[in-house]
Structure 1
């Protein structure tokens, strides 16, 4: 990717919109482009963070592997998203989880020194950087806290409630495999299958290869699930 294309891509993002072409030209020379294939590791857990990454194309995912082997997809980042800004200036600047390319992707890595130079040039950039760091910290804290407090059944029922509202049907069509569903819920695939079987024996649901049928709406969640006319 040419320096001109990198500059155009960055300037479309609010954080970098205050920079002129003349501002960006010398800074881009210190940036590094990474092209990644599907499933390729961007950063391993424990790697030292030395740059802030901006996703230009594709999709990047942060994953955590539990002690029982379950894979939790903590967050996904699409073009325009930024990774590493909450680590690069930390006294403990190691990636706490593994970062992988979900599909073929490209990103630009901005070194710490370049970020500092950008801050000297634009106060607007610093404001956006601090806002992104704050928002990301709150998002991850809320998500991890909510996940750790829920049982597998609660996670399944929450998923079914969301999909019922979205699809407006008791028959939930699945556009992901059981393995992918387990990853989305942050549970072991075997544990997920075991709980689905229990819920079927309890006559809460029935399921096949590509769908889950809700048998008792009132037992899945609160009263909000009973009104299919609510708009979301």
Structure 2
């Protein structure tokens, strides 16, 4: 049980809470811890959006079906990320996307009625929830703006410029593998590698397995703007 509290302590929802505080809060609500296998669906657009989750272990993908029938991975989430929290209090009754397991996962599930109960018990939990929803919306907006770009190079550049603005550093540590990065911007890994090499040949960036260094920010911006 202590592992549960430690995982939750690292989550956005229980940010700033001690293990004893989390234990006390959970004792006042009903929740469920569920295990899921790889590729299993946790939430789908056919389900009522009445429950959110906190990833205790493993990882999940938030997927969207394009008009052409292709599955687009909007985001990959890992422990201790929240899942489906922006859907709970929307006017839409259903989840907007599919949440599927990428690697076998254990999820703590909280019904929105129980979440409202937590809000009444502890105002900090409500503020943490609102902050998490806001951050999720900003990330989704950024993802959509990238996918709206026509060329692969533009998508790569938009990602790099966004990372530069967030860190104020020309050395960018990739938060995921190149395979996951390719999925994030909806291109093939081969195409991603090819365009990265082209940018390196032009002297705009240099890259290795885990990091990318922006050598010429002005030229990088010219590609996009």
Same fold (TM over 0.5): yes
| Partner in structure 1 of residue 105 of structure 2 | 105
State how far apart, in whole Å, the 2-side matches of 1:72 and 1:20 are. 35
Q: Contact (CA 8 Å) 1:64, 1:98: kept in 2 or not? A: yes
State how far apart, in whole Å, the 2-side matches of 1:77 and 1:215 are. 29
> 1:100 Cα deviation (Å)?
0.9
Q: 1:21 aligns with which of 20, 23, 37?
A: 23
* Structure 2 gaps, min length 5: 164-170, 206-212, 217-225
Deviations along 1:20-39, whole A, 9 cap, x unmatched? 53332132xx2111111122
Larger Rg: 1
* Structure 1 gaps, min length 5: 168-173, 197-204, 228-232
Cα RMSD (Å) of the superposition?
3.6
TM-score (norm 1): 0.68
Q: Contact (CA 8 Å) 1:7, 1:21: kept in 2 or not? A: yes
Q: Contact (CA 8 Å) 1:52, 1:111: kept in 2 or not? A: yes
- Which aligned pairs between 1:77-156 and structure 2 lie closer than 5 A? 77-155=77-155
State how far apart, in whole Å, the 2-side matches of 1:147 and 1:115 are. 33
Matched, 1:34 2:18: no
| Partner in structure 1 of residue 201 of structure 2 | 217
Query: What's the secondary structure of 1:58's corresponding residue?
Result: strand
Q: Which moved more, 1:75-84 or 1:102-111?
A: 75-84
Paired positions, count:
196
Q: Contact (CA 8 Å) 1:52, 1:88: kept in 2 or not? A: yes
Q: Contact (CA 8 Å) 2:5, 2:22: kept in 1 or not? A: no
Query: What's the secondary structure of 2:87's corresponding residue?
Result: coil
> 1:8 Cα deviation (Å)?
4.2
Distance 1:219 1:96, change over 3 A: farther
| Partner in structure 1 of residue 7 of structure 2 | 9
Q: Contact (CA 8 Å) 1:61, 1:77: kept in 2 or not? A: yes
Query: What's the secondary structure of 2:138's corresponding residue?
Result: helix
Deviations along 1:100-156, whole A, 9 cap, x unmatched? 111111101001121111111101111111111112112211221232133234235
